[in-house]
C-alpha cells in the first residue's frame, strides 16, 4: 500500500520513537522543517495511518508533535509519570525565576546558576532537585539543561557560549504541571495530602 | 653554438649546503647520489628556473621555505645560463630581502661572482664587475611574474625581450605548471586522477576553481535568510506578531496609565502636604463665618419678632375697636337710631309749637280764670298725683329694672370674667401650641428653603466643570487627531500607489531587459553551438583533413573555400601531389585575397569571445538587476521609510485616538459618575430634607389637630358658658319683665283712674265754661294739641339719651372707622412685609449657612481625606515594590489637585500593577516565543535574551512594529529573492567559467590521444598502445553545480519573484521555479557539507580513463592503473604520459613561430627502469624536444644513456659537492 510518505519519514520516526518531541521552533537537525512536514495536513493523515500500523499515534501539541502508544498499559503510564516527576521540581525552579523561562527563551546555565546563587529560595529549590549529584550550582543547572536537551525540551544553540533555547515542547511539561490537582485527604487518613494527575 | 634555446647550465653559489656547483644541462642529465645528498634540491633549483614560484616546488611545510633554505647568505646565487641561437646569456637569482632576478647579456663567467680569493661576491660587487666588463645587465626583476614573462617571451620591454627561452602565447603559464606537475607527481602511481590533476593544474589559473567554502557561505547566507523569512511568514509567527502588537499596546497603555496615576499620586500627595494647613485654616474661617452668620440672623430675627409683636398688638387694638364700633353700630341700627335722630331733630320745632299752643290756651281761658284756675289746680293736682304715682311706679319699675339690669350686669360680668378666664386659658394653651406650630412652621419653611437651596446647588461642580473642560479639550484633540490620521492614511495610500507604480516600472523594465538579454544570449549560444559543432566535427570534416595534411592551407585553400565546404564531412578529400598548388589544376595568385577560413584557435577564440559576450551580457544583466534591485531597495527604503513613518504616525494617532476614546469613555463615565454622585448627593440631601419636612409636617399636623381640638374644647366651653349666661339673662329678663309688667299693669289701672277723674274734672270745667260762655270746644282742641305736642316731646325725650350716645359714638367712633380700618390694614401690611422680609432673610441665611456648612464640610472631608491618604500611602504603599517602580515620577510630580484621592490612586496603582504584571508576563512570553522561532543569529535581529530588561523587551516590540510598519519584510524578501538569483547566477557563472575549460581539456585530451598515437612504440613493441578518453564527472557537488547552471540556462536570469507566498500575483509558475531553485541550492549545500571538499577544480569536471596494452597485457578502460607490468614498465608508461603531456602543453602554450627550443622534464627516481626502457624513453622525449633530468640512487649503467651525469658527495661540515661523472652518452 502506498502511503505517499515524505522522504523524512524515517528521520521523524527515529526522533519520536525515542519519546522525543518535534518542535516547530527547533533548528537543529532540521527540526523545524520536520515539524512543517508533519504539520502539513496532507502528510499528517498519511503519517497517522502509517504509524497506526505499528501502534503509534502522533499527538499534536501546541507547535510540537510526539508519539503516544495506542493502548498503553497502566504500568507504562505509571513509568512515564515517574519519569515526569523529576520535572516538577525543575519546572517549579524555572517558574520561580525572576526572568521566567518560557517557550523561546534563550539562556545560559551560568545565568540561572547566578540567579540561584543570589536568591536563597531558588538555591534551595535547585538543591532540592534530587536526581543530580553535581557539586556546584552551575554544574547542576548544566546537568538539568543537558537532561532537558536530551528529552528535547531544550536545544543547545551554541556549544561555545552554552546558549540554550526553550522549545515548544516545553508547553507539554507546563500542561502536565497545570493538570496536576493537589488535594487534601480528610484528617486521620494515612496519606494526607498528595497529587493526582488529571 | 646550438640552433635552439635551452637552459644550458645551472650554477649554484653558496646555495643550501653547496658552496659551488656548476651543472651543465644542455642534454639529458642524470644525478646520481644516495638519498638526502641534495639531488632533489638541485632538481628543485632547476625547476625554479622554469616555474619561478618558490611556493610550488614541493617543499613541505615542515621544511624551511625555498628562499631561506637556498639563499642563506648575501652572496648566495643561482645562475641559469641559457643557450640561444647566437650567444648565451644568463640570469641570476639572489636574495635582496626577497628573491630577485637580473638578466645578464653574457655567458656565465665565474669571475663575475668571485674575487681573487675565490670568495663569492655580494650582488653589488657582482654588478660592479659586470659594469667593469661592460656587460649589459637588466634592472632588478622583483616579481616572479615578470621573470616568467621574460623567460617565456611575453615581456614588452625591448631591452629584455631577447632574454627569452621560448616565445609563449597567452597560455604560456601552462609550461612551467606542466614541468612542475611532472616533477611533483613523479612519485605517484599512475592514476587518472593524477593525469586529471596534471591537465587541470596546467590549465588552471587562480580562477579555475570554484571555492566551495565561498559557495557554501553564499548558500548558507541565502538559506539562513530564506529560513528566517519562511519562519517570519508562518501563520503561527504572524499570530504571535499580532499578539505581541496587542499586548504591547496594552502594556504601553497600562504603563502610560500607571505613569499618569503615579504622577497624579505624586501631585495629590504634594498637594495634600501643601494644602493641609491652608485647608485647616479655611475650615476654621468657615466655622467662624458660620457663627457670625447665626448670631446676625438671630439678632435680626429677634428684632423683627419684637416689631411684629408690637404691630400685632396695634392690629389687635384696632381690630377690637373696629369690632366694637361695628357692634355698636349694629345695636344702634337695631334700635332704629336713624329715626330717633330724625325725630330728635324735630324736638325744638315741637317745643315752639307747644309754647304757642299754651299761649293760645291762656288767651282763651283768661275770662274764666278762676274756674280755670280751680279746675286747673284740681287737674294739676290730679296730674301731679298721677305723675307722682307714675314716678313712684316708674321708680319702682326703674328699681326693678335696674335691679334686674344690675343682676344681668353681674351675670354678664361673671360671664365675661369666666369667658375672659376661659379665653385666657385658651390663649395660653393656644399660645404654647401656636409657638410650637410657629417654630415647626419656621422649621418647615427652613426646610423648604433648604430644599430650594439643595435643588439649586450643583454638587461636585468643580469636578464636573473640570471634567467638562477636559472632555472638551480631549474632543478637540481627538478631532484634530482624526483629521490628521485621515490625512496621513491618504498619504500612505498615495505613497503606496507611487511605490507600486515604481515597482511596476522597475519590474517591467527588468523583465524587458531580461527578455532582451536572454534573447541575445540565446543568439550567442546558438552561434557558440554552431562553432562547437564545427569544432567537434572538424576532425572528420574537410577542415580536419586540411589541418592534418596540408601545411599553411589557410593561405591557399582557406582563401577560396567557404566554411560550409570546409566543414562538410562527405567530401572525402585525397591529396594529389601534382595539383598541390593549384585549384583543380588552376594556379591562382592569392596574395591579395583575404583568408576566409579560420584556424581552430580562431574558432576557439570566437567561441571564447561569444562566451565572453554572453558573460558580459549576463554581467550587464546582473548589473542591471543589481541596479534595478538597488532602485527597488532605494524605492522600498524611500517609500517604506516614509510609509513606515506615516504608518507609525497613523498608529500613534490610532493609538492616541483609542486612548482618547478610552479616555473619553472613562471621562464620560467619570462625568456620569460625578453627575450621578451629584444627583445622588442632591437626592440624599433632598431625601434628608424631605424626611425632615415630612416629620415637621406631621408634627405640624399633630399640632394643628391638637390646636383644633383645643379650640373645639374651648368653643364648647364657651358655648356652654354662653348658653348658661344667656339662660340666666333670659330668666332675669323674664322676671324683670314680669315684675315690671305687674307694676305697669297697676300703674295703668291707677293712671286710668286718674285719667277718668281728670276727664270728670274736665267735663265739670267745660260745663262751668259753658255755663260762663267760653268756647270750650276750641279750648279743647288747643288742649288736645298741647297734649299731642307734649306726647311727642316726651317720646323724643325718651330717645334723647340714645341719640346723644349715638351722636357721641358717631363722633368718636363711627366717623373714624375708615381711618381705623386703614391703619389696621397698614399694620397688617407692615406685619406681612416684615414676615416676608424675615422669611427672605431666613432663606438667605439658610442658604448661606448651608453653603458655609457645605464648604466647611468639604474642607473637613478634604482634610480627612488628605490625612487618610497620606497615612494609607505611608503604611500601605511606600514600602511596596510598586512605589519603588514609580518613585521617580511620584517624587518629581508638581503639587496639583486631582480628581482622585490618594487612597484611590494607591489602590489603583497596586491593582493596575498586578494587572500590568500579568499583561507584561504574557507580552514577554509572546516575545520569547516569537524570537525563539528564529535562529540565534537571524538576519532580522529578532533576538532577546531571557534576562533582558523591560526596556529591551519594549525596544524589541517597538523594532518589530517598525519592521512591520516599514514593511521591511518586503525588503528582506526582495533582497533574498535577488540573492537567490545572484547566488544561482554566481554559481552558474562559476560553473560556466570552469566548464569552459572543459573544451580546453577536451582539446588537450585529443592532442594527448593523438600524441600517444604518434608514439613510435612499434619499434620496441614494448607498448602497443596507450589510449585515453574523457567521461562525465561523478562528483556529486559538481553534478549539482552543473544542474544549477542548467537550471539557470533553462530559466535565464531569474530573480526569485514570488519566492515566498507574499507575492500572490506571480502565480504558480514562478513558485515552482523558485521551489526548484531553493531545493537545488539546499541539495548543493548538503552535498558540500557531506563531501567536505574545499573546492571544485577542473579535474572534478571530468573523469579520465586509460587503456594501455603492454605486450599481451591490456588494462582495459580504467581510472587507475595499478600495475601494467613490471615497476620499470610502470615508470616508463608514467614517464611517457608525462612527456606526452608536457609536449602537448608546451606545444599548446608556445607561439607557433617559436619552435627552436628545448625544455627539461624533471623526473626523479627512475632507477628501476631497465636500460632498454630508458633508452626508449629518452628517445621518446628527444623526439618531442624534451631533455630529461632524472635521479638515480647509484651508478647502475643507466647513467651511460645521459649526456651529463653528476654525482653527489657529502663532504666535511655537511657540505655537498656536485661533480660530473665521466660517462659516455650512449644514445640521447
Q: In the predicted model, is pLDDT for residue B13 greater than 70?
A: yes
Phi, psi of B368 (to 5 degrees): -110, 50
The verdict on A87 and A30 lying in the same domain is no
Among B364-368, B868-872, B882-886, B1135-1139, name the one with the lowest average pLDDT: B364-368
Q: In the predicted model, is pLDDT for residue A184 greater than 70?
A: no
Q: What single string gives the DSSP state of each residue in B32-58?
A: E--TTSSHHHHHHHHHHHHH--TTSS-
Q: Chain B: which residues have CB within 8 Å of chain A?
A: 227, 231, 234, 236, 921, 924-925, 927-933, 935-936, 943-948
- B1186-1192 and B1159-1163 beta bridge pairing: parallel
The answer to the question of residue A1 being in a domain is no
Contacts of B130 (CB under 8 A, 6+ apart): B104, B106, B112, B137
Q: In degrees, to the nearest 5, what angle opens at C-alpha B1035 toward C-alphas B994 and B988? A: 35
The verdict on A136 and A156 lying in the same domain is yes
What CA–CA distance (Å, rounded) separates A153 from A168? 7
What CA–CA distance (Å, rounded) separates B650 from B119? 90
- The shortest C-alpha distance from B1135 to chain A (Å) reads 50
- The shortest C-alpha distance from B932 to chain A (Å) reads 4
Terminal Cα distance for chain B, rounded: 18
Q: Highest mean pLDDT range out of A15-29, A128-142, B706-720?
A: A15-29
Q: In the predicted model, is pLDDT for residue B79 greater than 90?
A: yes
Residue that wins the pLDDT comparison between A32 and B581: A32
Number of structural domains (chain A) is 2
pLDDT digits (tens, 9 = 90+) for B827-848: 888 888 888 888 888 888 888 8
The answer to the question of residue A193 being in a domain is no
Put simply, whether A23 touches B (Cβ < 8 Å) is no
Mean pLDDT, rounded, for A51-59: 89
- The shortest C-alpha distance from B1082 to chain A (Å) reads 12
What CA–CA distance (Å, rounded) separates B1174 from B1161? 14
Exposed / middle / buried, residue B664 (Cβ in 10 Å: 0-12, 13-18, 19+) = middle
Q: Which helix (H) or strand (E) holds B865?
A: helix B817-872
Q: In the predicted model, is pLDDT for residue A166 greater than 90?
A: yes
pLDDT for the residue B2: 61
pLDDT for the residue A21: 93
Flag if A106 and B925 touch (Cβ within 8 Å): no
The total of other beta-carbon atoms located within 10 Å of residue B774's CB is 20
Q: In the predicted model, is pLDDT for residue B109 greater than 80?
A: yes
The verdict on A85 and A174 lying in the same domain is yes
Interface test mutation site (partner B, options A7, A11, A25, A60, max chain B beta carbons within 10 A): A25
Strand partners, B1188: B1161
Q: What is the DSSP letter of B143?
A: -
Flag if B925 and A107 touch (Cβ within 8 Å): no
pLDDT digits (tens, 9 = 90+) for A65-74: 998 887 778 8
The answer to the question of residue A28 being in a domain is yes
pLDDT digits (tens, 9 = 90+) for B560-569: 777 778 877 7
Residue that wins the pLDDT comparison between B628 and B882: B882
Put simply, whether A113 touches B (Cβ < 8 Å) is no
Flag if B929 and A25 touch (Cβ within 8 Å): yes
Exposed / middle / buried, residue B843 (Cβ in 10 Å: 0-12, 13-18, 19+) = middle
The verdict on A39 and A103 lying in the same domain is no
Whichever domain contains A116, its CATH number is: 1.10.10
The answer to the question of residue A109 being in a domain is yes
> Contact, B488 vs B707, CB < 8 A?
no
pLDDT for the residue A35: 92
pLDDT for the residue A153: 93
Q: In the predicted model, is pLDDT for residue B1025 greater than 70?
A: yes
User: What is the layout of strands, in order, in the sheet containing A163-166?
Assistant: A106-107, A163-166, A154-158
Which residues of chain A does B928 touch, with a Cβ-Cβ cutoff of 8 Å? 102-106, 166
The verdict on A56 and A128 lying in the same domain is no
Q: Select from A24, A105, A158 the Cβ nearest to the Cβ of B928.
A: A105
The answer to the question of residue A63 being in a domain is yes
- The shortest C-alpha distance from B928 to chain A (Å) reads 5
Q: In the predicted model, is pLDDT for residue B80 greater than 90?
A: yes
Flag if A165 and B925 touch (Cβ within 8 Å): no
Which residues of chain A does B227 touch, with a Cβ-Cβ cutoff of 8 Å? 32
Which residues of chain B does A166 touch, with a Cβ-Cβ cutoff of 8 Å? 928, 932
Write the CA distances from A65 to A19, A20, B819, B832, B929, integer angstroms.
10, 9, 117, 98, 17
The verdict on A83 and A56 lying in the same domain is no
The answer to the question of residue A60 being in a domain is yes
pLDDT digits (tens, 9 = 90+) for B698-742: 888 888 888 888 888 888 888 888 888 888 888 888 888 888 888
The verdict on A49 and A89 lying in the same domain is no
Measuring CA to CA, which residue among B877, B1097, B1083 is closest to residue B990?
B1097
Which residues of chain B does A95 touch, with a Cβ-Cβ cutoff of 8 Å? none
- The shortest C-alpha distance from B231 to chain A (Å) reads 9
Contacts of B886 (CB under 8 A, 6+ apart): B258, B259, B262, B265, B909
Flag if A24 and B932 touch (Cβ within 8 Å): no
What percent of chain A stands above pLDDT 90? 20
pLDDT for the residue A135: 74
The verdict on A60 and A89 lying in the same domain is no
Long-range contacts of B502-511 (CB under 8 A, 24+ apart): B502/B631, B502/B635, B502/B639, B503/B632, B503/B635, B506/B628, B506/B631, B506/B632, B506/B635, B507/B1057, B509/B628, B510/B624, B510/B625, B510/B628, B510/B1055
- CATH code: domain B6-184+1158-1220 is 3.40.50
pLDDT for the residue A148: 92
Long-range contacts of B628-634 (CB under 8 A, 24+ apart): B628/B506, B628/B509, B628/B510, B628/B513, B629/B974, B629/B975, B629/B978, B629/B1055, B631/B502, B631/B506, B632/B503, B632/B506, B632/B974, B633/B971, B633/B974, B633/B975
Measuring CA to CA, which residue among B1208, B884, B1159 is closest to residue B35?
B1208
- The shortest C-alpha distance from B246 to chain A (Å) reads 19
What CA–CA distance (Å, rounded) separates B946 from B1021? 81
Put simply, whether A43 touches B (Cβ < 8 Å) is no
Q: Select from A24, A111, A167 the Cβ nearest to the Cβ of B947.
A: A111
What CA–CA distance (Å, rounded) separates B1113 from B1125? 8
Measuring CA to CA, which residue among A105, A179, A33 is closest to residue B953?
A105
pLDDT digits (tens, 9 = 90+) for B807-822: 888 888 888 888 888 8
Flag if B945 and A106 touch (Cβ within 8 Å): yes
Flag if A104 and B931 touch (Cβ within 8 Å): yes
The total of other beta-carbon atoms located within 10 Å of residue B291's CB is 11
- A154-158 and A163-166 beta bridge pairing: antiparallel
> Contact, B474 vs B660, CB < 8 A?
yes
> Contact, B927 vs B956, CB < 8 A?
yes
Strand partners, B974: none
Contacts of B400 (CB under 8 A, 6+ apart): B736, B739, B740, B743
Interface test mutation site (partner B, options A24, A99, A105, max chain B beta carbons within 10 A): A105
Flag if B929 and A158 touch (Cβ within 8 Å): no
Put simply, whether A111 touches B (Cβ < 8 Å) is yes
Residue of A nearest to B942 (CA): A104
Average pLDDT taken over every residue of chain B: 82
Q: In the predicted model, is pLDDT for residue B1225 greater than 60?
A: no
- B18-24 and B6-15 beta bridge pairing: antiparallel
The answer to the question of residue A161 being in a domain is yes
Flag if A32 and B227 touch (Cβ within 8 Å): yes
Flag if A105 and B933 touch (Cβ within 8 Å): no
Residue A78: give the domain boundaries: 74-178
pLDDT digits (tens, 9 = 90+) for B229-241: 888 888 888 999 9
Flag if A107 and B932 touch (Cβ within 8 Å): no
Among B25-34, B364-373, B449-458, name the one with the lowest average pLDDT: B364-373
What CA–CA distance (Å, rounded) separates B983 from B971? 17
Interface test mutation site (partner B, options A106, A113, A145, max chain B beta carbons within 10 A): A106
Residue that wins the pLDDT comparison between B597 and B77: B77
The verdict on A138 and A85 lying in the same domain is yes
The number of C-alpha atoms within 13 Å of B502 and in the hemisphere containing its C-beta is: 19
pLDDT digits (tens, 9 = 90+) for B584-636: 777 777 777 777 777 777 777 787 788 788 878 877 877 787 787 778 777 77
Which residues of chain B does A24 touch, with a Cβ-Cβ cutoff of 8 Å? 234, 236, 933
Cβ-count burial B866-900 (b if 16+ within 10 Å, e if not): beebbebbeeebeeeebbebbeebbeebeeeebbb
- The shortest C-alpha distance from B949 to chain A (Å) reads 9
Q: Which helix (H) or strand (E) holds B137?
A: none
The verdict on A133 and A43 lying in the same domain is no
Contacts of B182 (CB under 8 A, 6+ apart): B198, B1138, B1141, B1142, B1161, B1162, B1163
Which residues of chain A does B948 touch, with a Cβ-Cβ cutoff of 8 Å? 99
Q: Where residue B77 falls among pLDDT bands split at 50, 70, 90?
A: very high
Put simply, whether A166 touches B (Cβ < 8 Å) is yes
pLDDT digits (tens, 9 = 90+) for B318-374: 888 888 888 888 888 888 888 888 888 888 788 888 888 888 777 777 767 777 777
**How many cross-chain Cβ pairs, A to B, lie less than 8 Å apart?**
58
The verdict on A35 and A127 lying in the same domain is no
pLDDT for the residue A193: 44
> Contact, B749 vs B389, CB < 8 A?
no
Grid coordinates in use for B225? 535568510
Cβ-count burial B391-410 (b if 16+ within 10 Å, e if not): eebeebbeebbeebeebbee
> Contact, B984 vs B1073, CB < 8 A?
no
What CA–CA distance (Å, rounded) separates B835 from B309? 11
Mean pLDDT, rounded, for B1133-1148: 80
What CA–CA distance (Å, rounded) separates B888 from B623? 57
Which residues of chain B does A105 touch, with a Cβ-Cβ cutoff of 8 Å? 928, 932, 946
The answer to the question of residue A192 being in a domain is no
- The shortest C-alpha distance from A105 to chain B (Å) reads 5
> Contact, B1190 vs B30, CB < 8 A?
yes
pLDDT digits (tens, 9 = 90+) for B383-418: 778 878 877 877 877 788 778 878 888 888 888 888
Exposed / middle / buried, residue B749 (Cβ in 10 Å: 0-12, 13-18, 19+) = exposed
Flag if B945 and A104 touch (Cβ within 8 Å): no
Q: In the predicted model, is pLDDT for residue A131 greater than 50?
A: yes
Find the DSSP H helices in B773-816.
776-812
Start-end of CATH 3.40.50 domains in chain B: 6-184+1158-1220
What percent of chain B stands above pLDDT 70? 93
pLDDT for the residue B201: 67
The total of other beta-carbon atoms located within 10 Å of residue A186's CB is 6
Q: Where residue A194 falls among pLDDT bands split at 50, 70, 90?
A: very low
pLDDT for the residue B1020: 58
pLDDT for the residue A192: 42
Radius of gyration of chain B from its Cα atoms, rounded to whole angstroms? 77
Q: Select from A63, A105, A157 the Cβ nearest to the Cβ of B946.
A: A105
User: What is the layout of strands, in order, in the sheet containing B1113-1114?
Assistant: B1023-1032, B1102-1110, B1113-1114
Amino acid at each position: 500500500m502506498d502511503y505517499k510518505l515524505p522522504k523524512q519519514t524515517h528521520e521523524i520516526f527515529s526522533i519520536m520513537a525515542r519519546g522525543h518531541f518535534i518542535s516547530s521552533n527547533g533548528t537543529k537537525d532540521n527540526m523545524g522543517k520536520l515539524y512543517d512536514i508533519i504539520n502539513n495536513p496532507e502528510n499528517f493523515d498519511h503519517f497517522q495511518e502509517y504509524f497506526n500500523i505499528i501502534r503509534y499515534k502522533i499527538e499534536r501539541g501546541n507547535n510540537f508533535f510526539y508519539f503516544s502508544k495506542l493502548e498503553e498499559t497502566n504500568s507504562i503510564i505509571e513509568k512515564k509519570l515517574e519519569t515526569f516527576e523529576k520535572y516538577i521540581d525543575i519546572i517549579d525552579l524555572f517558574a520561580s525565576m525572576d526572568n521566567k523561562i518560557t517557550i523561546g527563551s534563550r539562556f545560559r546555565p551560568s545565568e540561572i546558576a547566578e540567579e540561584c546563587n543570589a536568591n536563597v529560595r531558588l538555591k534551595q529549590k535547585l538543591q532540592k532537585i534530587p536526581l543530580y549529584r553535581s557539586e556546584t550550582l552551575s554544574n547542576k543547572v548544566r546537568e538539568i539543561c543537558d537532561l532537558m536537551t536530551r528529552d528535547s525540551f531544550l536545544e543547545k544553540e551554541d556549544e561555545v557560549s552554552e546558549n540554550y533555547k526553550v522549545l515548544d515542547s516545553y508547553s507539554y511539561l507546563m500542561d502536565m504541571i497545570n493538570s496536576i490537582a493537589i488535594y487534601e485527604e480528610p484528617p486521620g487518613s494515612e496519606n494526607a495530602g498528595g497529587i493526582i494527575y488529571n | 653554438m646550438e640552433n635552439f634555446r635551452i637552459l644550458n647550465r645551472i650554477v649554484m653559489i653558496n646555495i643550501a649546503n653547496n658552496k659551488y656547483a656548476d651543472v651543465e644541462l644542455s642534454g639529458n642529465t642524470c644525478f646520481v647520489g644516495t638519498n638526502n645528498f641534495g639531488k632533489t634540491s638541485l632538481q628543485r633549483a632547476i625547476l625554479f628556473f622554469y616555474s619561478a614560484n618558490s611556493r610550488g616546488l614541493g617543499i613541505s611545510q615542515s621544511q624551511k621555505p625555498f628562499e631561506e633554505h637556498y639563499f642563506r647568505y648575501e652572496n648566495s646565487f643561482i645562475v641559469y645560463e641559457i643557450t640561444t641561437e647566437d650567444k648565451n646569456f644568463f640570469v641570476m637569482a639572489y636574495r635582496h630581502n626577497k628573491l630577485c632576478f637580473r638578466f645578464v647579456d653574457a655567458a656565465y663567467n665565474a669571475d663575475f661572482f668571485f674575487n681573487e680569493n675565490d670568495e663569492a661576491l655580494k650582488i653589488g660587487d657582482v654588478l660592479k664587475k659586470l659594469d667593469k666588463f661592460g656587460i649589459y645587465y637588466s634592472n632588478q626583476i622583483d616579481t616572479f611574474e615578470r621573470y616568467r614573462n621574460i623567460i617565456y617571451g611575453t615581456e614588452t620591454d625591448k631591452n629584455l625581450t631577447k632574454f627569452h627561452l621560448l616565445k609563449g602565447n597567452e597560455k604560456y603559464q601552462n609550461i612551467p605548471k606542466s614541468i612542475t606537475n611532472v616533477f611533483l607527481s613523479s612519485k605517484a602511481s599512475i592514476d587518472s586522477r593524477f593525469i586529471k590533476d596534471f591537465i587541470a593544474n596546467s590549465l588552471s589559473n587562480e580562477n579555475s576553481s570554484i571555492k566551495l567554502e565561498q559557495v557554501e557561505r553564499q548558500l548558507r547566507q541565502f538559506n539562513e535568510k530564506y529560513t528566517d523569512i519562511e519562519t517570519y511568514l508562518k501563520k503561527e509567527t504572524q499570530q504571535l506578531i499580532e499578539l505581541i502588537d496587542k499586548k504591547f499596546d496594552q502594556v504601553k497603555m497600562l504603563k502610560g496609565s500607571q505613569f499618569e496615576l503615579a504622577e497624579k499620586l505624586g501631585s495629590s500627595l504634594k498637594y495634600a502636604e501643601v494644602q493641609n494647613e491652608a485647608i485647616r485654616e479655611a475650615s476654621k474661617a468657615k466655622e467662624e463665618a458660620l457663627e457670625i452668620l447665626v448670631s446676625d440672623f438671630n439678632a435680626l430675627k429677634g428684632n423683627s419678632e419684637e416689631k411684629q409683636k408690637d404691630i400685632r398688638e396695634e392690629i389687635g387694638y384696632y381690630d377690637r375697636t373696629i369690632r366694637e364700633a361695628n357692634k355698636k353700630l349694629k345695636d344702634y341700627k337695631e334700635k332704629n337710631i336713624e329715626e330717633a335722630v330724625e325725630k330728635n331733630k324735630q324736638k325744638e320745632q315741637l317745643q315752639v309749637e307747644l309754647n304757642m299752643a299754651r299761649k293760645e290756651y291762656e288767651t282763651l281761658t283768661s275770662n274764666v280764670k278762676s274756674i280755670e284756675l280751680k279746675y286747673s289746680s284740681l287737674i294739676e293736682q290730679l296730674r301731679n298725683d298721677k305723675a307722682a304715682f307714675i314716678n313712684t311706679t316708674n321708680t319702682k319699675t326703674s328699681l326693678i329694672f335696674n335691679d334686674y339690669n344690675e343682676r344681668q350686669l353681674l351675670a354678664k360680668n361673671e360671664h365675661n370674667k369666666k369667658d375672659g378666664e376661659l379665653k385666657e386659658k385658651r390663649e395660653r394653651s393656644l399660645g404654647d401650641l401656636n409657638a410650637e406650630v410657629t417654630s415647626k412652621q419656621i422649621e418647615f419653611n427652613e426646610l423648604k428653603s433648604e430644599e430650594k437651596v439643595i435643588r439649586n446647588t450643583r454638587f461636585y461642580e468643580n469636578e464636573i466643570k473640570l471634567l467638562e473642560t477636559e472632555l472638551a479639550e480631549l474632543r478637540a484633540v481627538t478631532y484634530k487627531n482624526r483629521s490628521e490620521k485621515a490625512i496621513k492614511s491618504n498619504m500612505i495610500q498615495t505613497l503606496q500607489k507611487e511605490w507600486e507604480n515604481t515597482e511596476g516600472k522597475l519590474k517591467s523594465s527588468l523583465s524587458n531587459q531580461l527578455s532582451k538579454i536572454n534573447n541575445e544570449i540565446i543568439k550567442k549560444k546558438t552561434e557558440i553551438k554552431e562553432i562547437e559543432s564545427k569544432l567537434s566535427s572538424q576532425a572528420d570534416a574537410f577542415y580536419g583533413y586540411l589541418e592534418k595534411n596540408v601545411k599553411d592551407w589557410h593561405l591557399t585553400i582557406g582563401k577560396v573555400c567557404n566554411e560550409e565546404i570546409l566543414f562538410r564531412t562527405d567530401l572525402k578529400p585525397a591529396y594529389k601531389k601534382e595539383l598541390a598548388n593549384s585549384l583543380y589544376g588552376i594556379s591562382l595568385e592569392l596574395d591579395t585575397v583575404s583568408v576566409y577560413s579560420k584556424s581552430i584557435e580562431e574558432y576557439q577564440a570566437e567561441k571564447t569571445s561569444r562566451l565572453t559576450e554572453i558573460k558580459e551580457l549576463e554581467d550587464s544583466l546582473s548589473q542591471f538587476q543589481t541596479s534595478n534591485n538597488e532602485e527597488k531597495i532605494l524605492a522600498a527604503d524611500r517609500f517604506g521609510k516614509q510609509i513606515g513613518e506615516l504608518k507609525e504616525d497613523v498608529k500613534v494617532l490610532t493609538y492616541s485616538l483609542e486612548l482618547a476614546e478610552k479616555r473619553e469613555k472613562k471621562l464620560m463615565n467619570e462625568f456620569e459618575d460625578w453627575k450621578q454622585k451629584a444627583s445622588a448627593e442632591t437626592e440624599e440631601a433632598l431625601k434628608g430634607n424631605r424626611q425632615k419636612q415630612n416629620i415637621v409636617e406631621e408634627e405640624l399636623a399633630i399640632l394643628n389637630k391638637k390646636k383644633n381640638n383645643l379650640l373645639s374644647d374651648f368653643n364648647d366651653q364657651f358655648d356652654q358658658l354662653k348658653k348658661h349666661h344667656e339662660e340666666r339673662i333670659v330668666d332675669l329678663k323674664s322676671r324683670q319683665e314680669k315684675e315690671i309688667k305687674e307694676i305697669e299693669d297697676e300703674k295703668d289701672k291707677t293712671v286710668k283712674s286718674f285719667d277718668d277723674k281728670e276727664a270728670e274734672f274736665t267735663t265739670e270745667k267745660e260745663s262751668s265754661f259753658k255755663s260762663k260762655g267760653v268756647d270750650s270746644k276750641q279750648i279743647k282742641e288747643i288742649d288736645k294739641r298741647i297734649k299731642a305736642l307734649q306726647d311727642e316731646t316726651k317720646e323724643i325725650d325718651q330717645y334723647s339719651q340714645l341719640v346723644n350716645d349715638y351722636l357721641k359714638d358717631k363722633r368718636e367712633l363711627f366717623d373714624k372707622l375708615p381711618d381705623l380700618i386703614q391703619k389696621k390694614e397698614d399694620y397688617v401690611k407692615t406685619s406681612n412685609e416684615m414676615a416676608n422680609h424675615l422669611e427672605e432673610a431666613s432663606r438667605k441665611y439658610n442658604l448661606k449657612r448651608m453653603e458655609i456648612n457645605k464648604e466647611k464640610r468639604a474642607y473637613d472631608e478634604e482634610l480627612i481625606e488628605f490625612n487618610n491618604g497620606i497615612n494609607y500611602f505611608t503604611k500601605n504603599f511606600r514600602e511596596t515594590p510598586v512605589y519603588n517602580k514609580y518613585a521617580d515620577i511620584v517624587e518629581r510630580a508638581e503639587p496639583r489637585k486631582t480628581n482622585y484621592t490618594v487612597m484611590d490612586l494607591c489602590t489603583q496603582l497596586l491593582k493596575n500593577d498586578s494587572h500590568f504584571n500579568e499583561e507584561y508576563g504574557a507580552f514577554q512570553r509572546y516575545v520569547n516565543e516569537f524570537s525563539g522561532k528564529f535562529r540565534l543569529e537571524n538576519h532580522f535581529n529578532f533576538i532577546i535574551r531571557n534576562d533582558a530588561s523591560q526596556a529591551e523587551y519594549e525596544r524589541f516590540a517597538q523594532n518589530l512594529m517598525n519592521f512591520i510598519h516599514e514593511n521591511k519584510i518586503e525588503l528582506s524578501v526582495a533582497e533574498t529573492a535577488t540573492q537567490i538569483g545572484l547566488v544561482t547566477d554566481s554559481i552558474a557563472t562559476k560553473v560556466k567559467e570552469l566548464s569552459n575549460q572543459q573544451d580546453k581539456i577536451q582539446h588537450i585530451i585529443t592532442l594527448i590521444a593523438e600524441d600517444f598515437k604518434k608514439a613510435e612504440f612499434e619499434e620496441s613493441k614494448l607498448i602497443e598502445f596507450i589510449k585515453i578518453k574523457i567521461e562525465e564527472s561523478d562528483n556529486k557537488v559538481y553534478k549539482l553545480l552543473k544542474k544549477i547552471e542548467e537550471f539557470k540556462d533553462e530559466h535565464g536570469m531569474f530573480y526569485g519573484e514570488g519566492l515566498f507566498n507574499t507575492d500572490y500575483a506571480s502565480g504558480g509558475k514562478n513558485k515552482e521555479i523558485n521551489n526548484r531553485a531553493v531545493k537545488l541550492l539546499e541539495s548543493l549545500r548538503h552535498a558540500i557539507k557531506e563531501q567536505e571538499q574545499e573546492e571544485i577544480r577542473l579535474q572534478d569536471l571530468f573523469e579520465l580513463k586509460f587503456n594501455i596494452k603492454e605486450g599481451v597485457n591490456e588494462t582495459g578502460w580504467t581510472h587507475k592503473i595499478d600495475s601494467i607490468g613490471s615497476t620499470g614498465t610502470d615508470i616508463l608508461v608514467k614517464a611517457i604520459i608525462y612527456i606526452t603531456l608536457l609536449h602537448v602543453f608546451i606545444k599548446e602554450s608556445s607561439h607557433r613561430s617559436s619552435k627552436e627550443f628545448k625544455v627539461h622534464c624533471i623526473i626523479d627516481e627512475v632507477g628501476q627502469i631497465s636500460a632498454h626502457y630508458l633508452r626508449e624513453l629518452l628517445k621518446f622525449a628527444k623526439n618531442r624536444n624534451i631533455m630529461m633530468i632524472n635521479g638515480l640512487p647509484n651508478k647502475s649503467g643507466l647513467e651511460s644513456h645521459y649526456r651529463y651525469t653528476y654525482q653527489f658527495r657529502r663532504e666535511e661540515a655537511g657540505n655537498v659537492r656536485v661533480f660530473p661523472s665521466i660517462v659516455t652518452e650512449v644514445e640521447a
